[in-house]
A and B are shown apart, each in its own frame.
Chain A
Amino acid sequence: MKIKKYLKIYSLFLSTSIASELEYKTNVIIDFITAILSLVGSVFLLTIFFQNTDNIGGWNFEQALIIQGIYTILNGITNTWFNPNLTEIVKHIREGTLDFVLLKPLDSQFFISLNKIAPSGFLEIILGFALLFYCIGINQININLSFLLLCLTTLFCSIVILYSLWFLISTTTIWFVKTWNATEVLRSFLYIGRFPLNSFSFSLRIFFSIFVPIAFITTIPSEVFLGIALLWEILLEIIVAVIFFLVSRRFWLFALKYYTSASS
């Protein structure tokens, strides 16, 4: 019953936000063009890196393209869901419109995380998947059901980790009021995720695995695609995703107790 209600509400979120976006046609077209140019630019950058060498951190160009594909999908998801919603949390808290969200008989985290959508990010997701399929071809990867299931699971986990991180940072707005910079830093770290983790020095690798889990966001799903991921890595990815999500949820509920609402 509850799931049915949430699905119905989500379908309304989708239809209203797509309708809102389509009110501004030119903006949608510009966003689409930006998505294409951004992917072309990233692939071009990668070809420059590989011009004088066959591999970086043990990954050749064809394999590195997989990371680029996963990064593009994640960036698409970021642009479609995280960016329009999670950056709004700061606005909701600063302007006090979170009041309306909190007074609805609906999970507030669900509402503020999913009520908007930017359709232009869809194109990036499609382009990312297209690049992945191309990579499956050039890397001669055999596809079977368990392979696909594993790929989608790790990809889903990386989305959850990225979401939870972003949501955690946005939640701190309840105390600090303005945390745009912190979410921007997170986005910049995600750019780093376009390159194989092994291409960084040991200390940076530790930093990107522990403090900002970029390793879990792009590298492990890419290794799964190439069939070189170790079982413990996949299990760890799932555990990290579950922990991050639960922590972000707990933290949100805890933070709400300190919400003072903006003055009128």
Chain B
Amino acid sequence: MGENIIQVENLSKSFDISSKEPGLKGTLQHFFKRETKSIEVIKNINFGIKKGEIVGFLGANGAGKTTILKILCGLIHPTQGRLSVAGNLPYKRRSNFLKNITLIMGQKQQLIWDLPPIESFYLNAAIYDIEKFEAKKRIKKLSEMLEIEKELYIPVRKLSLGQRMKSELLAALIHKPNILFLDEPTLGLDINAQRNLRKFLKIYNKETGATICLTSHYMKDITSLCKRVLCIHEGCLTYDGRLEKLLKKISPIKDILIICKTDKDAKELSNSGFNIKNQNQKEITITIKKDSIKSTLNNILNKFEIEDLYINEPPVDEIIGDILVKEKV
């Protein structure tokens, strides 16, 4: 299995799922004679992750990203395949394995709702066999990094979503895990809170050398944290490699914003057969292939009166959004 801290071979997982027809008749049928069928949500996946890597899992809702994370941290038994996480079979959930990993879920919380987060931190410390003195030191350090020193003593229910998420992170990291599984950690957070969280994860990875597996629908999370991504589509692994390469491969296009001098020019330009992305009076954005930039620009500059012109990469969100619904990358 080499030097990979996570190794997955021919991994498959099926769930029995029941479906229901709408209406009262469907409900009664569903109640008395439930028909279940086995659905393969993960199909023969192979990959390896090295120690210290930050890997992003990309895929549309229901693609199987969270299921993979849950199999890797030992919550779900795989139906088939071999896997090893930090030298362990995750689903055995042995104590030394559990002390090595952590799972953070953006939409679920483990902190005690009515008490200040510090109470949950000390409880977690005791569960992970950490002495009180050492726990105090770690809480101090992590709360400084996360900038939540003041919030440690305020009941969780009175914290903002961002402060709560940071506290969740602290609770999940108190035992210094080597592998972090993050399932949409920035869900619902505002832009600032998202940025802070990403900054923290970057520093944490650099300082501790921890391996991070991340799923997120906020592309900024992926682009700013992950050098490597795994694209999952309907349970299959469709791409495994560097993010830059993926972007280049799937996006051989550029956006050109052209500001025309007159309305007449704008009208003529929009009728000249270019692929128009959007138009706002005299401002027109066209999409062209990277290798035709020179000829297209020559053509435009010769034919029309242009006030200004910008060449942009299309936003990463759009590119990735596109690939999420594609079968093969």
Contacts and interface: CB of A to CB of B under 8 A. Distances in A.
Given A99-B105, A100-B108, A264-B184, A20 B114 contact: yes
Nearest to B101: A103
A16, A20, A99, A106 interface centre (most CB from chain B within 10 Å): A99
Contacts, number: 76
B123 A97 contact: no
B76 interface: yes
Contacts of B282: none
Interface string A250-263: 00000001011101
Interface string A3-43: 00100110011001001100110000000000000000000
Interface string B102-138: 1101011110111100011011101111000000000
Contacts of B114: 19-20, 23-24
B122 A12 contact: yes
B218 to A, nearest CB: 14
Contacts of A103: 73-75, 93, 98, 101-103
A2 to B, nearest CB: 10
5 contacts: A9-B127, A23-B155, A97-B109, A103-B102, A261-B70
Nearest to A22: B114
Interface in B65-107: 66, 70, 73-77, 93, 95-96, 98-99, 101-103, 105, 107
Given A20-B114, A264-B184, A99 B75 contact: yes
By Cβ-Cβ distance, the 5 closest A-B pairs, closest first, are A105-B95, A100-B110, A105-B98, A20-B114, A23-B114
How many residues of A sit at the interface, in one of the four size bands?
20 to 34
Contacts of A96: 108
A102 B98 CA distance: 9
Contacts of A16: 112, 115, 119-120, 123
B183 interface: yes
B15 interface: yes
A263 B122 CA distance: 29
A9 B126 contact: yes
Nearest to A106: B127
A260 B77 CA distance: 8
A184 interface: no
Nearest to B104: A100
A18 B113 CA distance: 13
A257 B101 CA distance: 20
Given A95-B108, A263-B66, A5 B95 contact: no
Contacts of B184: 264
A99 B73 CA distance: 10
B236 to A, nearest CB: 19
Interface in B145-195: 155, 183-184
Given A97-B110, A261-B70, A264-B183, A12 B103 contact: no
